[in-house]
A and B are shown apart, each in its own frame.
Chain A
Amino acid sequence: MSAPDLTSLPSLPRDDEGPAFAEPWQAQAFGLAVRLSAEGHFTWKEWAAALAAELKAAADRGEPDDGSRYYEHWLAALERLVTRKGLTDTAALAARKQAWADAYRHTPHGQPVLLPKSSS
């Protein structure tokens, strides 16, 4: 095997041959988009367009796009698309995010984190 040495490249980040998820949530966000598309909630073409728009917006803001924030853009695109499709709305997403943060805050270390029944 002759893996090219790319460590000398400042602008061309790369990884090993393994999966390109840096954190578990990235795999989760990835799977959500694939699954929602497979279920017919949006087409893959719509998804590609939403993601491209998000990447372009980031570039227009002058953010360095070296791939490191890729899944953040992926997630933003997914939030935008599911909201636009009426699958959920931004208020529900914000409330649910807060509920998860609270659940982590109030769950003793070592116990599974569960949402209280009332949160929706």
Chain B
Amino acid sequence: MDAPHHKHDHQVIPSDPALRTKALESLLVEKGLVDPAALDAIIDAYENKIGPRNGARVVARAWVDPGYKERLLRDAGPAIAELGYSGAQGEHMVALENTPAVHNLVVCTLCSCYPWPVLGLPPVWYKSAPYRSRAVIDPRGVLREFGTELAEDVEIRVWDSTAEVRYLVLPERPPGTGNMTEEELAALVTRDSMIGVAKIAAPRGVEA
């Protein structure tokens, strides 16, 4: 449907929240409380550069390098920093290893705490009330909705993020990937697998 066709002799007035954001930003910048260049750099980083790809590289490294994996599971922050990614808010990072017996699922029941430096910005569903409440009450049901069926004897551990602690799931390496390079492996790693709502499928042509 076309927007009402009136003559644009002036600019389209932005929405209420857009105007409020402009008001806030311009006031704070004027007072010297926010550096506009630093602000742009953050937005650019989260929008374009950071993203689940950082986390995927961490996971792939852990799959191919047992020493790195050990460091990652022992203290994730420094291990992640080894690859050049560091926390924006300095929160403590914890890596959780999925195994055939244990499946980890990450949520933030309070708001939307999320490991931004490795996963970028949280997806809309991660911030929604249904996910925030149901991940704790009925994790198996939530996983099923993401297409993730776990055997009854698999233990599901749900981790509630806070302002201080963020979690990154280390998913299981899929079968049939023994000959793949670290880079090829990283390409298999999905954001959802690092939140714990999905497993990583075996590459095409490989039977699980």
Tell me which of B31, B122, B162, B163 has the highest count of chain A C-beta atoms within 10 A of its own C-beta: B163
Q: Chain A interface: which of B16-24, B72-80, B94-102, B150-158?
A: B16-24
Rounded to whole Å, the gap between the CB of B13 and the closest CB of chain A is: 4
Do B21 and A28 touch across chains, with their CB atoms under 8 A apart? yes
B88 within 8 A of A: yes
Q: Are B125 and A82 in contact (CB under 8 A)?
A: no
Which residues of the other chain, B, contact A106 by a CB distance below 8 angstroms? 10
- Neighbour of B10 across the interface among A47, A52, A105, CB < 8 A: A105
Distance A59 CA – B110 CA, assembled complex (angstroms)? 12
Interface residues on A, range: 35 or more
For B28, give its contact among A34, A47, A59, A88 (CB under 8 Å): A88
**A35 and B42 in contact (CB under 8 A), knowing A44-B163, A100-B19?**
yes
Q: Which chain B residues border A105 with CB–CB below 8 Å?
A: 10-11, 13
Knowing A35-B42, A72-B17, A75-B21, the reply to whether A115 touches B26 (Cβ < 8 A) is yes
CB distance from B143 to the nearest CB of A (A): 10
Residues on B with beta carbons closer than 8 Å to the beta carbon of A44: 89-91, 163
Decide if B5 is an interface residue (CB 8 Å cutoff).
no
Q: Which of A2, A48, A70, A72 contacts B124 (CB 8 A)?
A: A70
Give the chain A neighbours of B190 by CB distance below 8 A.
1-3, 17
15 A-B contact pairs sorted by A residue (CB < 8 Å): A23-B18, A24-B18, A25-B15, A28-B39, A32-B39, A35-B39, A37-B89, A44-B91, A47-B163, A48-B162, A52-B111, A55-B111, A67-B124, A88-B24, A109-B9
Enumerate chain B interface residues (CB-CB to A < 8 A).
Answer: 8-15, 17-28, 30-31, 33-35, 38-40, 42-43, 46-47, 51-52, 88-91, 110-113, 120-131, 142, 145-148, 162-164, 188, 190-192, 197-198, 201
Which residues does A use to contact B, with CB under 8 Å?
1-6, 9, 11-15, 17-21, 23-25, 27-32, 34-39, 41, 44-45, 47-49, 51-52, 55, 59, 65-68, 70-72, 75, 78-79, 82, 87-88, 92-94, 96-97, 99-101, 104-109, 111, 113, 115, 120
Q: A20-B127, A44-B91 are in contact. List 13 more A-B contacts (CB 8 A).
A: A5-B147, A6-B146, A12-B145, A17-B191, A31-B39, A41-B33, A51-B112, A66-B130, A70-B128, A97-B19, A99-B23, A108-B10, A115-B26
